[in-house]
Amino acid sequence: MHDNTYLPDHFLRHIAAIMPAHLSMDEFVASCRRPLRRSIRVNTLKISVAAFVARMQPLGWQLDPVPWCDTGFWLSREDERVPLGNTAEHLSGLFYIQEASSMLPVTALFACEQTQRDGMLLDAAAAPGSKTTQIAALMDNQGMLVANEYSSSRLKVLSANLQRCGVTNVGMTHFDAKVFGQWLPETFDAILLDAPCSGEGTVRKDEDALRNWSIESIDEIAAVQQGLLESAFHALKPGGVLVYSTCTLSLQENQAVCQSLQDKFGDAFSFDSLADLFPAAEKACTPEGYLHVWPQIFDSEGFFVARLRKQHSVPNTMFKPGKLGKFPFLPLPAKESEPMLREIEAAFGVVPQGNLFGRSEEIWLFPQLFEQVQGKLRFDRIGLKLAETFKKGYRLTHEWALAYGDGASKGFVELDIADAREFMMGRDVWPEQEAAGTGEVIVRYQGHTLGMGKWVGSRVKNALPRELVRDNNLFV
Ligand code: SAM
């Protein structure tokens, strides 16, 4: 029980006025004070759900399926000494710590035939990346996903999460998301707008979430959300699908934002009913077909999800191309890319997928569909940095290893648990194996990649990026 959860009277009066008749305020308050159940989502870019369950059950992990997400589980652990984020499985990107109700928007986005894994998708407000990584996994790293985030510090966290999870099909941008309708009209097959919001649904995680709550602040943020939704709608192709979601409960930020779009463009789109999204979804379904997830319904955070389909174009008075700046990359000529890909295949037994581009001392692997947005948008980061070059060759990156290392059939070394811990602490290791190798080596623990190293005699020199080195409380 969280007795200190701050639930001010004026907030509770506001909620009582909008609580559906079949739900109780007492249960609402009780659930707001109850700690959240832990939940995780298995990253199928790296491991199947069955293999993950088989790996974790012997370690005393109890995994109870989240009914609206095939890869989501509520988790209880017998031994909680090691924080979840410091487990070997988290460090190698096998799962993402994600609140169960926050898995709903992406499920809704993909539960319709319009959203294809090889399409051009937009995640308009993406950091820290729980839904970006969920989308990328459902796309199986195909097509292209533009992941945008306005806050610079959160953009860095997004980037780290994409790398850890082996995501290779994302182009990251750093804008106020209201630019997309102006700069890229009718460009995306599917869009997620997981909007910035007042976070009323998050009190179970953060007991002070409502410290600064006021009607004025939700009205203010609702105006921002309306602008973002309108812009996202312009950026959506006719025939495309858009999901609008928040982790808040007030009608102003949810139903009213959807209504504002309906008032403007009502004949050009329709909202889908999400009542059949999963068994029991109707318990959270509004008359309009949205999911308004009160925390007591599924014992989760509060959430709101609406999905619309755009039937036809609308006049767009917003259109104006964006400022691009200089694009520093050039496609890598075949005489450089082909030998490099052949070498990588010969050394590791995997072939990197995508288009190779170079800039100064770097070689990058861009997503398949990048050319569709090339010259239309300034990116902060595109795809994956494959290698750093120097006079006599190149060095493959940590992020390449995290994306491709699990699939390597050679050129890797398997560490035991003691060496794996040493490696994650930034130290060199002397693995016990028959023969030491030469050159760069993928370092794995129980079949999944921790990073890159380099053979020096029988020692593997540690090439873990400094910012990923952990000094204590690692997996046991
Ligand atoms: N989708 C994320 C996830 O699942 O991990 C959570 C997104 S959070 C609800 C909203 C995000 O929008 C925040 O990271 C915030 O910094 C960002 N943001 C705020 N204003 C924005 C704007 N005008 N354009 C784009 N992003 C914005």
* HSE-up of residue 337 (Cα within 13 Å, Cβ side): 17
Q: Ligand 1, closest atom to CA 105? A: 4
For the segment 66-120, what is each residue's pLDDT rounded down to a tens digit? 999 999 999 999 989 999 999 999 999 999 999 999 999 999 999 998 889 999 9
Q: Tens digit of pLDDT for each residue in 273-309?
A: 999 999 999 999 999 999 999 999 999 999 999 999 9
- What does the DSSP 8-state code read for residue 39? E
> What HEC string does 138-201 produce?
HHCCCCEEEEECCCHHHHHHHHHHHHHCCCCCEEEECCCHHHHHHHCCCCEEEEEEECCCCCHH
Atom of ligand 1 minimally distant from the CA of 196: 10
- Whether the CB-CB separation of 310 and 237 falls below 8 Å is answered with yes
Q: Could you tell me how far CA 56 lies from the centroid of its own chain?
A: 22
| Ligand 1 closest atom vs CA 154 | 14
Per the listing, tokens 């006079």 go with 391
Tokens 């993402």 belong to 96
Residue nearest to atom 23 of ligand 1 (CA): 176
- Cis? peptide before 295, omega within 30° of 0: no
Q: Which atom of ligand 1 is nearest to the CA of 197?
A: 9
195 Cα to the center of ligand 1, angstroms: 6
In this prediction, residue 12 carries a pLDDT of 95
165 is catalytic: no
With a Cβ cut-off of 6 Å, ligand 1 is lined by 102, 125-131, 148-151, 154, 176-177, 194, 196
Across the chain, mean pLDDT equals: 95
- Give me ligand 1 centre to Cα 328, in Å: 27
CA of 433 to the centre of ligand 1 (A): 47
Place of tokens 């997996």: 475
User: By alpha-carbon position, which residue is closest to atom 15 of ligand 1?
Assistant: 196
Q: Measure 171 CA to ligand 1 centroid, in angstroms.
A: 16
328-357 pLDDT, tens digit each: 999 999 999 999 999 999 999 999 988 999
pTM of the model: 0.97
pLDDT-based confidence at residue 2 (cuts at 50, 70, 90): low
Using the predicted structure, report yes or no on whether residue 1 has a pLDDT greater than 90: no
Indicate which residue of 32, 165, 197, 247 is catalytic. Answer: 247
195-243 tens-digit pLDDT: 999 999 999 999 998 999 999 999 999 999 999 999 999 999 999 999 9
Q: What is the pLDDT of residue 202?
A: 93
- Ligand 1: centre distance to CA 225 (Å): 11
pLDDT at residue 476 above 80? no
The pLDDT of residue 442: 97
Q: Which of 151, 159, 164, when mutated, tests ligand 1's pocket best, judged by the most ligand atoms within 8 Å of its CB?
A: 151
- Tell me how far CA of residue 365 lies from CA of 8, 335, 354, in angstroms: 51, 16, 6
Residue nearest to atom 1 of ligand 1 (CA): 126
Q: Could you tell me the distance, in angstroms and rounded to a whole number, from the CA of residue 84 to the centre of ligand 1?
A: 24
- Among 428, 432, 419, smallest CA distance to 463 is for 428
Q: Which residue CA neighbors atom 14 of ligand 1 most closely?
A: 127
**Dihedral over alpha carbons 234, 235, 237, 243 (to 10 degrees):** -90
pLDDT at 318: 74
